[in-house]
Amino acid sequence: MSARPEELMTLYRARFGLAAADRTRVWRVLTADFFQPMIPPSSAVLDLGCGWGEFINNIHAARRLGMDLNPDSREHLDATVEFLAQDCSTAWPLPDASLDVVFTSNFLEHLPHKGAVSATVREALRCLRPGGQLICLGPNIRYLPGAYWDFYDHHIPLSERSLGECLEAEGFRIERSLDRFLPFTMSGKPASPDWVIRLYLRLWPVWPLFGRQFLVVARSPTRAG
């Protein structure tokens, strides 16, 4: 990654510090009502680019891991979450086929170049068990051509299509691909009440009206070859 750990820490604090409690509350609803049903409680789950643990702290799993270069991440993660402080595009300190789920939200666009994205995807594939899930959420460049670049550390333009091509090229099978899922960002905006978030998640016909983030779910091969 191009940003230094100290720079990541400063950017994250400035962008989300005042909204930390709201972000945790929103992710508690998102995990309980949408993502948890996709993830069996017996799973080993890695949150890639875990930030302050908004997802991984709220998911129920037998083993929970978070990976990030942000030095602040460690103190925000639950005590039972294993923290991996490292560049995600280098080798992960995990055995082959040791994870059931890799989850990442609003992270891949922060990597310095497409080679880093591909290297990260390859590590996810190596570490996932046969049939394991890779769940990717992120801003869709097709619907945010200007606002996408309003964040200093956004480097890679991605859509569900371009990310899907990358995943398939590395050996994943796309299981679900939505171009519009959640609204763009909570940065600088008041968070919606829990009941509004729950209603939004159930009313999928309105997602194309408000969604600016894609959702891509992919599977690792079930057997070699």
Token representation of residue 223? 């057997």
Architecture of domain 5-219: 3-Layer(aba) Sandwich (3.40)
Per-position b or e across 18-50, b if 16+ CB within 10 A of its CB:
ebeeebbbbbbbbbbebbeeebeeebbbbbbbb
Q: What is the pLDDT of residue 187?
A: 54
- pTM for the full model? 0.90
- Contact call for residues 67 and 45 (beta carbons, < 8 A): no
Q: How far is CA 175 from the centre of its chain?
A: 16
Q: List the chain pLDDT tens, one digit each, 225 residues.
A: 456 776 666 665 555 554 667 888 999 999 999 999 999 999 999 999 999 999 999 999 999 999 998 888 898 999 999 999 999 999 999 999 999 999 999 999 999 999 999 999 999 999 999 999 999 999 999 999 888 888 878 899 999 999 999 999 999 999 999 999 999 765 556 778 999 999 999 999 999 999 999 999 999 998 654
Sketch the domain layout of the chain as residue ranges. 5-219
Per residue in 69-106, is it b (16+ CB within 10 Å) or e — as a string? bbebbeebbeeebebbeebbbeebebeeebbbbbbbbb
